Amino acid sequence: MSLNIILHEPEIPANTGNIGRTCVAIGATLHLIEPLGFVINDKNLARAGMDYWKQLDVRTYLDWEDFCAKNPDARIWMATTKGRHVYSDVSYGPDDYIMFGKESAGIPEEILIRQPERCIRIPMQGEIRSLNLSNSVAIVAYEALRQNHFDKMTTKGQLHRLHWAPEDM
């Protein structure tokens, strides 16, 4: 499985750093579509990404058209509050792309209207605008991974002490 996460014009370096760390943990490629609200060597980006950033497969694009030209066969799911489908109700392929918009405005509607059937939503109560971007990426990415049986991921841990008693707690 080679999941792809797209951030369209991300603005907050800490969010992108956290998302980069998640991408390393799940083996996903991170695609950043400019303009970015920060420079790649921003200290807040590095702090959030920790030492994982150097392990990240990250690709940058000048704009949406540049991304589309370089990834013509990408099957893209677009996470948006305007989505018609709940993120867990669609079927993700092992090499799909999941796109998220900038923190202040989301994915531009002119992109969304091209494929409304690919617009997905994370359900929320009331009038809340949206979840934090890095949380949204983790929620949707892990659903895609779950549907693909966490391919190539460690799914079982092991306690170091094989014999323990409840009184040890």
Q: Which residue has the higher pLDDT, 2 or 50?
A: 2
**Percent of the chain at pLDDT exceeding 70:** 88
Binding site annotation covers 91?
no
Residue 29 is part of which domain span?
A: 4-168
**Structure confidence by residue, pLDDT tens digits, 127-141:** 888 899 999 999 999
Checking if the pLDDT of 39 tops 80, the result is no
**Structure confidence by residue, pLDDT tens digits, 53-106:** 788 999 999 999 999 999 999 999 999 999 999 999 999 999 999 999 999 999
- Residue 74: is it exposed, middle or buried by C-beta count within 10 angstroms (0-12/13-18/19+)? middle
Q: Assign residue 164 the CATH number of its domain.
A: 3.40.1280.10
Binding site annotation covers 122?
yes
pTM: 0.88
Binding site annotation covers 130?
yes
Domain tally, the chain: 1
